[in-house]
Amino acid sequence: VILNSLCTSNGNGDHSFITDWNLTWHTENPDFTQCFQNTVLVWIPCIYLWVCFPVYFLYLRCHDRGYIQMSNLNKAKTALGLILWIVCWADLFYSFWERSQNIFQAPFFLVRPTVLGITMLLATFLIQYERIKGVQSSGVMTIFWLISLVCAIVVFRSKIIHALNTDAEVDAFRYATFCIYFVLLFVQLILCCFPERPPLFSETVNDPNPCPEFSASFLSRITFWWITGLMVQGYRRPLEAKDLWSLNKEDKSEEIVPGLARNWAKEWAKTKRQPLNMLYSPKKQQKSSSSSGDVTEEAEALIIKPSQKSSEASLFKVLYKTFGPYFLMSFLFKAAHDLLMFAGPEILKLLINFVNNKAAPNWQGYFYTGLLFVCACLQTLILHQYFHICFVTGMRLKTAIVGVIYRKALVITNSARKTSTVGEIVNLMSVDAQRFMDLATYINMIWSAPLQVILALYLLWQNLGPSVLAGVAVMILLVPINAVMAMKTKTYQVAQMKSKDNRIKLMNEILNGIKVLKLYAWELAFREKVLEIRQKELKVLKKSAYLAAMATFTWVCAPFLVALSTFAVYVTIDKKNVLDAQKAFVSLALFNILRFPLNMLPMVISSIVEASVSLKRLRVFLSHEELDPDSIIRGPVTEAEGCIVVKNATFSWSKNDPPSLNSINFTVPEGSLVAVVGQVGCGKSSLLSALLGEMDKKEGYVVVKGSVAYVPQQAWVQNATLEDNVIFGREMNESRYKRVIEACALLPDIEILPTGDKTEIGEKGVNLSGGQKQRVSLARAVYCNADVYLFDDPLSAVDAHVGKHIFEKVIGPKGILKNKTRVLVTHAINYLPQMDTILVMSDGEISEMGSYQELLKQDGAFAEFLRTYANAEQSMENSDTNSPSGKEGKPIENGALVNEAPPPPPPSALNSSTYSRDTGKTQHQSSTAELQKPLAEKNSWKLTEADTAKTGRVKATVYWEYMKAIGLFISFLSIFLFMCNHIASLSSNYWLSLWTDDPVINGTQQYTNVRLGVYGALGISQGIAVFGYSMVVSIGGIFASRHLHLNLLHNVLRSPMSFFERTPSGNLVNRFSKEIDTIDSTIPPIIKMFMGSTFNVIGACIIILLATPIAAVIIPPLGLVYLFVQRFYVATSRQLKRLESVSRSPVYSHFNETLLGVSVIRAFEEQKRFIKQNDVKVDENQKAYYPSIVANRWLAVRLEYVGNCIVLFAALFAVIARNKLSAGLVGLSVSYSLQITAYLNWLVRMSSELETNIVAVERVKEYAEMEKEAEWSIEQTAPASTWPTEGKVEFRGYGLRYREDLDLVLKNINVTINGGEKIGIVGRTGAGKSSLTLGLFRINEAAEGEIIIDGINIAKIGLHDLRFKITIIPQDPILFSGSLRMNLDPFDQHSDEDIWRSLELAHLKNFVSSLPDKLNHECAEGGENLSVGQRQLVCLARALLRKSKILVLDEATAAVDLETDKLIQSTIKSQFEECTVLTIAHRLNTIMDYTRVLVLDRGEVVECGSPDHLLQEKGIFYSMAKDSGLV
């Protein structure tokens, strides 16, 4: 009424009503009334802008991107805005002028220009405000100009029609202003499509490769056009890391993580406010005299109560606080999209009515078609904006979680570290963070799915009435079935994960201990163990495959069953119910919409459950107790009372553990040298940990003044260059660096390394020997120039002469550190006289303390300990012998990197000293210039082969390989079943369209029952086919994965040692976990979906062609566009995926590394730098992930437009041919075309998924083609079971090289060793001692000559036949997780008595019988729960069990204290009396009583004879003995 009153000028009723249906609808030439044009059409854009304004204004105030300078573009926009305002108000003044002339027009002529003018002023203000706030392209404004223009076009058309109408009078002034207004709007819209220049001072200016997102225009951003450049680049050549854009500022770690960390800290502080003093109550009472039982119980109750009340910190709240605001935007988008989804079926209804109603004017059909297209396009744009927000939120979530976990891992206590292993923490980072990422995209379905269901049901009810309930009932029945299946799948998944974890753990150990496996010939035993676990895993997989088949069946048949039940009920309730096209196809379209939310709900719910489990795990981890930074007082260096002061201190590893160090008291004056000695396991290392603040201080007072440097017992080396390892983030100071390198005896090693000190060191320092790692770790400490040095037995891992050098040059009274405070834990007796103070520890207490002389005088435990060892040798001072120092790590000679098989040297290096083996002892004098190797070699050498990212398309052969792995019959059967299913599906829908076209006679249709029966039968056959193909594909997938895993395992175990040295174990484990998992559980479902979508798309096209054959003109070109877009996308997306996964490994390996070296990082106070490094690595990874999200959106928008075009043409041709077509066919073709967008989307998704995942098959096959070592056993040449009877070993002209392109490591060795001889093999580092044993075991095959044992040439027999008959006690004592029994006898060949006897001889019987499980005692991974000495004894027990004729001892006594060492030596003497024993000795005193000694130098035997004889010859052996102080 109000509107109508605006439209009537007093007296004249000319534009009386706002709407007139005869004018607008029931006519061949529609038009709006004048009134409508001048009110509603003007107000729409105005209302839009005024509603948006407050929200947008606030948004801009909060998000300031910096100030944009005035540009010509901006000036133009502002000027046009002002002109528009002037034009509007010109109209207003014209109206006033008219009034003054007494011409009274309708009131809207005053209202319209006023409102418009004010709105234009607002628009101009916004244009300027946006510029000030740095918005480069504005969505709000673009939409405003677009709406204004659309409204104006309607009016413009109407005015032209009006003007062409000859007898109408034309208001010339208003026409002119309107034309100007129209043109200006058009120009504004075009100007709005161009983005402004970037704001001043923004990061993008100095960024080499900024992300174009924010500088793109609004149109480019909603269609994701801005990524096209990257797509084109990716299509032309494979993308590389340098092509990726930098991350946007708000996605970077340094922006995101602190926010989450802050919010979490607040939340955590809230819950921690309860008083904590309760915790200590029981201890005090127990100490008091009245410590009766009930008191303590009461105290315990006190403690328990508050913890129940205490609310736990809610991580969800924190995440919501941090990421909620941005995520809320997605709500609006999702809601808009859900509403638009239902526009499709409603317009379809109108279209079918239009086809049925022959009288309707043609333009209505075109109008509906246009409307359908516009709705579809809007839906596409909105949906993908929504997805983009979700994915970006997910990405930020992951970044934040990884960052927070990393920061937490640096501060948690050791006891907390024990509760979560390294693997678990890495899992938190990878798996759990990923779960949140996935959830972010689903979480809105929680409210959106019910909304969609309710809307769909409402529309269906309108369409079919109560019979809808039948369909709904079927759906509701299917939901619990789906839910039960989901639950079942879940339990299976858990079981499968468990088997998989066990399998990977075992594989990990096998790969870490592969050398030992090969030396002992245990591969088969372990292969069986792996296959046993795998068998369990496949059993579970099979069960889940059956379930998956059921699930697919319900998912594919659900829509059909629902439709069938609904239509059946509808037709049978009442004869008058006629199933016409409109009812049938609109219902079908709605059912199709319904199917999505109903199937998503169970998924979303399980996803939420998973995420909540992850949330809990994360919360537990983030709530772990942190190290108390104040337990150790770190003060500046002052003169008072000493540098380290410990008074009455008691420490334990965690709050509730018994103390491991009791009432410790000592003071270390500044600049003194203190030694800590004692038996294995008496708390020497714990003492250092306590000083570092790694332990929990129960009581007492500890001060450490000044900065601290720490050298751990197990050297921790980073995966970086040697130089970076030493400098460790400090400033580079050339002269100091050289001094340190020199003092730590690293010069000779640097010369041997391929690129000097720029050589990259592998993870965990794989390409360095134990001694080198220890020296690098030492150099790191020395370089950092701290005030207090804590050394945890750094001398044990190095050779005797090197140890002496280091002590003199670094640690001792004359070393570099002579003015620093030094605490040294050591086993080496010979350095003790030079110490200022000696602390003797036993059982966690300091038993004695004083200088060397004082302790001798006291004649206590220490003096006893010394006497035992000193009397055997001459004077203590010069005897180096006892320094238990052999162990130069692996059987690699110091730094010669022998079997690490460096890749072929660059030509320039061939003649340089690097590869010539003549690294004599002159290296100490070599000039430091040698450090800087010639530049040509600098970057030529990388140790490990990185996990390479393959480029280019996956070859067809890979698919063929996979089909062969499944079995060809099964493959073709599944394709045939797919065909059957889709033919049945198409024919059932075609039948439905024929049914709906049945003529209606007397209000009923004739053959209802026949129609219904056939429809049902077709549907059931479709169901059978679905079930069939689903089963076949799943079972085929299991066949394939069994086959591929077996091959991979067999081939990896058959690979030679050199392969494992070249390939990082991570790569191999990755093949066994990631790739096999992909083949197990990812590929079969993807194949199903891929085939399904392919046939769906083809089916839809066939139907459209049946209905409107003319579509044949359009479908092929659209198909070409589709293929073109798809090829573009796949090329880029595949490469981005690869880059993303390649950049993901550094995040984990860096994290792993940090966890292992966390005490070192804390000691050096380098946490900040490591956090920064982690952030950079995470950002690098997200840098590849972000474009891949956007590429997905880019593709989806393009494809959906192709789909939308198909909808457009299907509808358009149906409208054009409306007189020839039946309504049923139109309904059929349009309802199919409505689905085609979804199918196309799926198809590309699936084809690229298939392509990225099938790579797993390729990578698994890749290892199958590797070189293998010789056969394990050869029937024809197998020696007798008693061989070797005497144990005679002959080397005839023997030579060995590590790789084809390297020099010989051993040359022309001719030695005969008779049975029962005891031979010592000695030589300088790098002389080839270990290479000899490698040759004997055929770890490396001979390059020339042969080895003959008891008359059999060992090269002729199988490897296992050989290796079973020789026993080695290796250098690194490696145990596998499993029972102790399994570690001694994996093949179960020996009785328990035998095993106990061997343990007794190995001096382990007491220890093992004290264990609760005796022989079934579970060894931890790598034998972590035994001390190194005990592990060494277990290896001895192994040798005693095998009791073979030939025993090889690789100097195994480095990690053992001297007593244990004596035990081992005596056991070997007594037990291996008649055997041939070869000992590689680092300490000459062990072999002085052997029959003969071989002295090797540079790979040749230079001296050979009895020890006494060689000493008289005064050769190399003599000089070595002299070094050791034996002469």
Of residues 764 and 714, more confidence is placed in: 714
- Reported as type and span, the H/E element at residue 1492 is strand 1492-1497
pLDDT digits (tens, 9 = 90+) for 1179-1193: 999 998 999 889 888
Which band of pLDDT confidence, cut at 50, 70 and 90, is reported for residue 896?
A: very low
**Distance (Å, whole) CA 1137 – CA 1056:** 32
pLDDT (0 to 100) of residue 297: 41
E strand intervals along 656-718: 661-668, 673-678, 696-705, 708-711
pLDDT (0 to 100) of residue 953: 67
**Distance (Å, whole) CA 1494 – CA 1514:** 15
Average the pLDDT over 806-833 and give the result.
86
Query: Do 881 and 873 meet the contact criterion of CB atoms below 8 Å apart?
Result: yes
Average the pLDDT over 1097-1107 and give the result.
86
- For the ranges 77-81, 93-97, 1068-1072, the maximum mean pLDDT occurs at 77-81
**Distance (Å, whole) CA 1149 – CA 1110:** 59
Taking CA atoms, 152 is separated from 42, 155, 158, 371, 1142, in Å, by 8, 5, 10, 19, 54
- State whether residue 845 is helix, strand or coil: strand
Is residue 1294's pLDDT more than 50? yes
pLDDT (0 to 100) of residue 908: 32
pLDDT (0 to 100) of residue 18: 62
Is residue 183's pLDDT more than 90? yes
Is residue 1299's pLDDT more than 80? no
**Which amino acid, 900?**
E
pLDDT (0 to 100) of residue 80: 92
pLDDT (0 to 100) of residue 790: 92
pLDDT digits (tens, 9 = 90+) for 779-791: 999 998 888 999 9
pLDDT (0 to 100) of residue 1341: 82
Is residue 284's pLDDT more than 80? no
Query: Do 1334 and 1340 meet the contact criterion of CB atoms below 8 Å apart?
Result: yes
- Reported as type and span, the H/E element at residue 1449 is strand 1446-1450
Backbone angles phi, psi at 1212, to 5 degrees: -65, -50
Structure tokens given for 938: 């600098």
pLDDT digits (tens, 9 = 90+) for 130-181: 888 888 888 899 999 999 999 999 888 888 888 887 676 777 888 888 899 9
Taking CA atoms, 1349 is separated from 1050, 1115, 1286, 1369, in Å, by 29, 77, 9, 19
Is residue 1368's pLDDT more than 90? no
pLDDT (0 to 100) of residue 374: 93
Angle between helices 343-356 and 315-341 (to 10 degrees): 10
pLDDT (0 to 100) of residue 304: 40
pLDDT (0 to 100) of residue 902: 36
Is residue 1385's pLDDT more than 50? yes
Is residue 468's pLDDT more than 70? yes
Which band of pLDDT confidence, cut at 50, 70 and 90, is reported for residue 642?
A: confident
**Distance (Å, whole) CA 1186 – CA 1143:** 13
Alpha helices (H) along 577-622? 581-622
Strands 1289-1297, 1304-1313: parallel, antiparallel or unpaired by DSSP? antiparallel
- For the ranges 370-384, 580-594, 862-876, 1148-1162, the maximum mean pLDDT occurs at 370-384
pLDDT (0 to 100) of residue 146: 93
**Which amino acid, 899?**
N
**Distance (Å, whole) CA 347 – CA 368:** 7
Average the pLDDT over 1064-1070 and give the result.
76
Alpha helices (H) along 1000-1114? 1008-1053, 1057-1062, 1065-1070, 1076-1077, 1083-1107
**Distance (Å, whole) CA 481 – CA 807:** 74
Q: Which of 671-680, 1114-1123, 1371-1380 has the lowest mean pLDDT?
A: 1371-1380
Q: Which residues contact 62 (CB under 8 A, 6 or more apart)?
A: none
